[in-house]
Amino acid sequence: MAKFLDTQSISSELLKLIKEAKDKIILISPYLKVNTQIQERLKTKSVSGIMSEIVIVYGKTELKDSEREWMKSIKDLKVIEKSNLHAKCYLNEDKAIICSMNLHDYSMQNNIEMGLMITKEQDKETYNELIEEINNIKVNGTRKDPSTLKNFNQNNFNGSEKVAESDDNVDDNKGKELTLEQKMKFLILKEWRLFKSKEYKTKAYTILTDSEIISLVIENNIDKNILYKILPAKKVNQFGNEIFSALSQAERYTICKVLSVIYQSDDSKYDRIKLKILNSSQEFWFETTKELPIINRHVAASLDNHWFNEYFYLD
């Protein structure tokens, strides 16, 4: 019998599906943009040596060098392009999730998603029909070498990287290092920009260039007047309110440093994370059902009392 999944359940069950796989992992999504947690789970499965196949089928891609590198690090990963693909389906040898959610952070953290999970044991006929359709997609797709995939050359602000020249060659902000708060806003606006570019079926930089995003995030108290100074009037009129709404998402997150992690044990029902809250320098333990973050990394996290919820890396 199929099980209904909401947004949080899809994320949780997807990571569980990958973790529990013993033979195959097949991820089908229109966009070859995969969040860090899924990347790490796939790497772990790859080095286990037990998998007969790890496959990603996608429709279109916009790759950074870092994304190409993690795919190259999984030597048995098969990447298949199917140009008219719009399905989202994720499965292993025992169960499958069919849903509206893409594999990137924006979809998982900001959108309202729904889906169904089926198991081979309880829905054998449906599962086998799904496998048959996936095999048809794979046969009619084009196998790709990750090293030859198109590179979408946008700035990726990690570690102590500086602001470089952007896609519009405006270098007023060149050499300035973004603060962690500015990086958080930059990443939020980039995800919004990507979302809008798909909606309008256009290149992301036509919505906002990197330099425009940088100019927006380094402003402390941005208002409509400042927006008109940074952006063309047409963009302000078209997207101004949505830009303010996207920037307001930063209020949902707290910037933290990951100090330590403890996996679930007899003493604790949930995994635990020790965080340093940067704006106060206080340190607290939080419980979580999410994938544990990497120690010593800075994250923007949604915190609720002593619960650690959605997060993304800032370095």
For residues 46 and 171, the model is more confident at: 46
* Residue 54 phi, psi (nearest 5): -130, 115
Q: How far apart are CA 89 and CA 101, in angstroms?
A: 9
Kindly list the distances between the CA atom of residue 68 and the CA atoms of 77, 144, 191, in Å, as whole numbers in the listed order: 12, 12, 19
Please write the tens of the pLDDT for every residue from 90-138. 999 999 999 999 887 766 677 889 999 999 999 999 999 999 999 889 8
Beta bridge partners of 98: 89, 116
Q: Where do we find the tokens 């033979």?
A: 23
pLDDT of residue 174: 43
**Span 154-159, mean pLDDT?**
38
Please determine, for residue 148, whether its predicted confidence score (pLDDT) is greater than 80.
no
pLDDT band for 83, please (50, 70, 90 cuts): confident
DSSP string, 221-289: S--HHHHHHHS-HHHHHHHHHHHHHHHHGGGG-EEEEEEEEE--BTTBSSEEEEEEETTTTEEEEEEES
Q: What sections of the chain are H helices per DSSP?
A: 7-20, 36-48, 65-73, 105-110, 124-140, 180-200, 204-207, 210-217, 224-230, 233-248
**Looking at this protein, which amino acid is placed at residue 27?**
L
Please write the tens of the pLDDT for every residue from 218-276. 998 899 999 999 999 999 999 999 999 999 999 999 999 999 998 877 667 888 999 99
Q: How far apart are CA 297 and CA 315, in angstroms?
A: 6
60-84 in b/e form (b: 16+ CB < 10 A) is ebbbeeebbebbeebeebebbbbee
25 with 42: CB under 8 angstroms? Answer: yes
**Span 50-64, mean pLDDT?**
83
pLDDT band for 60, please (50, 70, 90 cuts): confident
pLDDT of residue 108: 67
* Residue 169 phi, psi (nearest 5): 60, 20
- pTM for this model (two decimals): 0.51
Please determine, for residue 153, whether its predicted confidence score (pLDDT) is greater than 50.
no
**Span 196-221, mean pLDDT?**
91
Please determine, for residue 152, whether its predicted confidence score (pLDDT) is greater than 50.
no
Percent of the chain scored above 90 by pLDDT?
A: 54
Please write the tens of the pLDDT for every residue from 163-198. 333 343 333 444 458 999 999 999 999 999 999 999
Show the tokens assigned to 61.
């891609």
Q: How far apart are CA 268 and CA 97, in angstroms?
A: 29
